[in-house]
Amino acid sequence: MALLKISVKSKPKAVAGAIAGVMRDHDMVELQAVGAGAVNQAVKAIAIARGFMAPNGVDLVAVPAFTEIDINGEERTAVKFMIEQR
């Protein structure tokens, strides 16, 4: 499984392309986002990636959850999205 870390500066179309590329090789990808802006970019990327994959008959689903991650020795809460094929 691949892990993509999303920031507020991430471009949704580029992240969507990365999601589609990973999904062609693997059956699951995880996105992690810390903060409202990063979560917003992740959600937009997921929607775009679904559009990229739909013409090939692939239906992507995302399951959101909270996770604790370490950033520079500080524990932060991130939103993770587990993306897989339906």
> Mean pLDDT in the chain?
94
CATH number of the domain residue 66 falls in = 3.30.110.20
Domain enclosing residue 59, as ranges? 2-85
pLDDT at 1: 78
Global pTM value: 0.92
Domains of the chain: total: 1
Mean pLDDT, residues 51-68: 94
Q: Residue 73, by phi and psi: left (phi above 0), alpha (psi -120 to 50) or beta?
A: left
- The whole-number average pLDDT for the span 52-60 is 91
Render pLDDT for 10-44 as a digit per residue (tens, 0 to 9). Answer: 999 999 999 999 998 898 999 999 999 999 999 99
Q: What is the residue-wise DSSP string for 40-70?
A: HHHHHHHHHHHHHHGGGT--EEEEEEEEEEE
